Amino acid sequence: MSLLLQSATPLPNYELALVMTNGEHRRFDVKPYLDKGVFKALQDPEYFNQVQSHPRFVQWPKGQDLGLDTLLVRSIHRDSLPA
């Protein structure tokens, strides 16, 4: 079975809490993308909070998206986060 995204929840400070289908919890920092092209719209916190999760990506209403590979490679496993 392939690892897929179960859910993505917006967090303060432009981060996403990710839950994978294997139960793994991860945190993804979106801040490095906020000054790039179409992702600039995510600087609006109300818009950022409209993120929707799909099994292979997250997406916002105007089409900005981040694929599963990016989410996995650039996220931090919850156990790795400082307390």
Return the CATH number at 11. Answer: 3.30.2020.10
Range of the domain at 50: 5-80
State which H helix or E strand residue 48 sits in.
helix 45-48
Please give the average pLDDT of every successive group of 10 residues along the chain, which has 83 residues: 92 97 96 98 98 98 98 87 51
**Distance between CA atoms of residues 53 and 56, nearest Å:** 8
pLDDT of residue 54: 98
- Are residues 31 and 45 in contact, defined by beta-carbon separation less than 8 angstroms? no
Q: Which of 51, 40, 57, 41 is nearest to 15 (CA)?
A: 51
How many folded domains does the chain comprise?
1
The model carries a pTM of 0.91
pLDDT of residue 78: 77
